[in-house]
Amino acid sequence: MLKPYRVIDLADDRGIFCGKILADLGAEVIKIEPTTGDPARRLGPFINNDPGIENSLYWQLYSANKKSFALDIHSPMGKKILLKLIPSCDILIESFAPGTLDKLGLGWDTLKSINSQLIQVSITPFGQTGPYKNHLATDIIGSALSGFAHLTGDSDRAPVRVSIPQFWLLGGATGATGAMIALQSRVRNKVGQLVDVSCLESLTRTLSHAPQFWDMNEVILKRSGPFRPVGEKNALRVNFECQDGYVNYIQPGGATGGRAMAALSTWMEEKGEGHSLLSSTDFGEYGFGQIPTDLLNIMNSTLELFFKTRTKIYLSEEAIKRRVLLFPVNNPSDIYTYPQLLARGFFREVTMQNSQKIFTLGPWIQSSDYAIPVKTAPSLGEHTDQILEELGLSRSEIQSLFDNRIAK
């Protein structure tokens, strides 16, 4: 896929996912990190609870398939070496504050004068322009400002954050998408470009139709917890507690939902736990959001009692047999044994630098002519020698860089 392309990755943990996607798709991604190690190496959890720079599972996940080039780009010699790499580079990823690379003499104007076909992806909290461009942000701040937090959680409680840093991950994914589109553009016009990624805009895009609800109807969507809003008054419950966790049931409406609800009603009747009104109602006659409130209430209370005394595995396996739209809410332990993921080889065992074996995420797409490699993340400076030799430095010059802590 992207095998012919070379990527220089200067991003820290805020843009780490961008380079990961490109590396997984076959690009040669050279992660240039400080000689003391990238900040992501210090993010937990850690293998055996040992916070060493080679033990971060976060680093392992998001830096697998990359190369590590430990170089102090803030030093004059480090900057000079980086500039020598630019002619052979197709994409450069960075997540510095706007203007930082310019101050280092590595700004966009300088880089494109060296390589006119270079594509630079800049990933920042708010983008390269606007009144907030120089503001700092965290994932929690991004979640709050984007409106994402407002829609996350229960309606009668304060907004909550999602456990995974969506602000940075979506920014990274957006950056990778922009980079690949820019590559396609370059095929036609032979010119590179600067791709300006705002993590705020990336996360706000996930609100889907929420802004349009306000724009067209002056209705502010609210947190709905285990419910799915269908209009201003009604809400369909989608998450139900079961004996050992939760299941997700997509409730009826239309032909497909009507058939599923009829099958579920029959199932509950067989167990002596159904309700006559549910069994006698043709839910296929109702459109989206048209089920009367009193019928919804009966449905919710009946389903709550039925699901609560049964396990996730039983409910989900029986639901598949009966063609009911019900699935388990998997936790991380469940995911490792989920048959669909196992059948497609999504999890792979890899051996780390210390010979310890761990399971990691495998291919996230499958291609008829390209197999995504599954490797461990590089150790600090693992490829420094190789890259410096490629640039034509002698053994004594390389050793001097090591001695002066410019490279490692």
Do 117 and 86 meet the contact criterion of CB atoms below 8 Å apart? Answer: no
Share of the chain above pLDDT 70, in %: 95
Burial of 364 (0-12, 13-18, 19+ CB in 10 A): exposed
Measured distance CA(81)–CA(387) in Å, rounded = 10
Give how far the C-alpha of residue 379 lies from the chain's centroid of Cα atoms, to the nearest Å: 23
Give the pLDDT of residue 219.
64
Quick one: average pLDDT of 259-288? 92
Do 171 and 199 meet the contact criterion of CB atoms below 8 Å apart? Answer: yes
Give the pLDDT of residue 218.
66
Do 17 and 29 meet the contact criterion of CB atoms below 8 Å apart? Answer: no
At 341-386, the pLDDT tens digits run 999 988 888 887 777 888 888 778 888 888 877 888 999 999 999 9
> What is the number of other CB atoms lying within 10 angstroms of the CB of residue 407?
25
For residue 45, say if its preceding peptide bond is cis, omega within 30 degrees of 0.
yes
Give the pLDDT of residue 181.
98
At 241-255, the pLDDT tens digits run 999 999 999 876 777
**Angle between the 166-189 and 16-24 helix axes, to the nearest 10 degrees?**
50
Residue 274 in this model has a pLDDT that exceeds 70: yes
Give the pLDDT of residue 233.
64
Domains of the chain in sequence order: 6-206+344-403 (3.40.50.10540), 238-332 (3.30.1540)
Burial of 113 (0-12, 13-18, 19+ CB in 10 A): exposed
Give this prediction's pTM. 0.90
At 1-58, the pLDDT tens digits run 898 899 999 999 899 999 999 999 999 999 999 999 999 999 999 988 989 899 999 9
